[in-house]
Amino acid sequence: MIKFSIKSASLFTLIICIIAVLFSMSASIFFKYSPCPLCTMTRYGFIILIIIASLTLYNKKIFSLLVLAAFCLFILTFYHLGVENHWFASPAICHAKLAQTMEEIMNNTDNDCAKVGWKIFGLSSTLYSLAAAAILFWINSIVFFAKYVQVYDRGIKDKS
């Protein structure tokens, strides 16, 4: 059985997030893929997780912040997948860019969040982001609650 500690869960999160950011950045740089605003927000979410996971390696007390950030990233990627599959309405930010005229805004279809930008093995890249975010949230929350139960159990034993 695999046992995760706060340090190993943080390190795992750090590695997965670095891979995700490098993969998305390479798609932008080498394949000229222009990310939609939700893709960009997801990228920032992974970067935030990198920062928090790095800090958690040195200060275990902020591990709960890592769990919260992983949950927020999971929600964001689920929403993005929902927009791509037309489960949810596309937010206004997905239809507009900083443009000079209203005509330029209305004719901009390059970065529509409802369109699948690119696929890997027939699956949307957003689905891979969702899977990564779900795994990160799942592992970190299991470690968090396992540590919380240990502390709680020790407190009950100390009182009796």
Q: 27-46: per-residue pLDDT in tens?
A: 878 877 777 788 888 889 99
CATH number of 6-159: 1.20.1550
Residue ranges of domains in the chain:
6-159
Cα 66 to Cα 9, 69, 76, 83, 133, distances in angstroms: 10, 5, 15, 26, 12
Distance between CA atoms of residues 93 and 37, nearest Å: 7
Token pair 């034993």: residue: 157
Q: Across the chain, what does the average pLDDT equal?
A: 78
SS3 124: strand
Per-residue pLDDT at 39 = 83
- Answer yes or no: are the C-beta atoms of 94 and 112 closer than 8 Å: yes
pTM of the shown model: 0.77
Both tokens assigned to 78: 């689920």
pLDDT, tens digit (0-9, with 9 covering 90-100), for 65-115? 999 999 999 999 999 888 887 787 777 666 655 443 444 434 444 566 666
